Homo-oligomer: A and B are copies of this chain.
Amino acid sequence: METLHPFDSGIALVPAGPDLMVGRTLPEWANMVGPFGGITAATLVHAIQMHPDCHGRPVALTVNFAAPIADGAFDVGLRAARTNRSNQHWILELTQDGETKTTATAVFGVRRETWSGTEAVPPDVPTPKGPTGSGFPPPIVWTENYQMSFVDGALPGVDAEPNTSSTTTLWMRDNPPRRLDFPALTAMCDLFYPRVFLRQGRALPAGTISLNIYFHADQDQLDAQGDDFLLGTAHANRFSRGYFDQTAEIWSRGGVLLATTQQIVYFKG
């Protein structure tokens, strides 16, 4: 009997009708309340990829975390609202007992050769030294599914002081290592703990409300990555009246910008 990688178990779906798939939360992917948002986002990408109408590869994704997903089964309703020659627009809704828990839209596209160039510059950092642990306390189960090697801005410890910068930079990959694909890249876009923890030097109530990802890599650039570490760097622009943003870049070790991502996070404190 073959054993699935924990990530593949986490995003598993069973078609249950036209435009409907059924998934299930797993204890290995538990966050403080409900599952890790990254595994939910990855599951939605996977749902589109499994759909018979799927055309092209992920270009853009927005996932809105409307309410906590309860332990157990969930439905993913999805539909291609529009299919053009070179791209396709999806609308998705994750529900439990008819209650909306997550909404999403996605753009898939067919890529073709054009002029290209990368203007962003990867952080100048040492190569990964091997996993150092996430620093997350045991209730945050999902972090066990990642190897994280922090270069800068690790999770503040018990005696941490406030910081003037919200930047975290780390090497990261699945644990155990797994060949990179679009769902895995999606999940890693949500790997950065809330930036307000770093600024305040302590954990406080906070949760992602909406996550946006632009995929800059095509399939061959993900294939070239294999199961190597990715370099992620994230920072916030503004914290104000209960919300802040965080913006991140995901780089390959070789300096290919695989994705840019941003999210808006709710916080108290």
Residues of A within 8 A of B (CB): 59-60, 62, 64, 66-67, 81-82, 84, 86-87, 89, 91, 93, 99-101, 103-105, 107, 109, 111-120, 165-166, 196, 199-200, 209-210, 212, 214, 216-218, 235-243, 245, 247, 249, 257, 260, 262, 264, 266-269
Contacts and interface: CB of A to CB of B under 8 A. Distances in A.
Copies, count: 2
Contacts of A60: 64, 209-210, 264
Contact of A237 (B119, B212, B217): B119
Smallest CB-CB A-B distances: 9 pairs? A111-B241, A66-B82, A62-B62, A120-B237, A66-B89, A60-B210, A81-B100, A212-B212, A216-B238
A237 B257 contact: yes
The secondary-structure label for the interface of chain A is strand
Contacts of A100: 81-82, 89
B119 A242 contact: no
A31 B47 CA distance: 35
Contacts of A266: 86-87, 109
B214 A262 contact: yes
B93 A66 contact: no
A196 B116 CA distance: 10
A59 B241 CA distance: 11
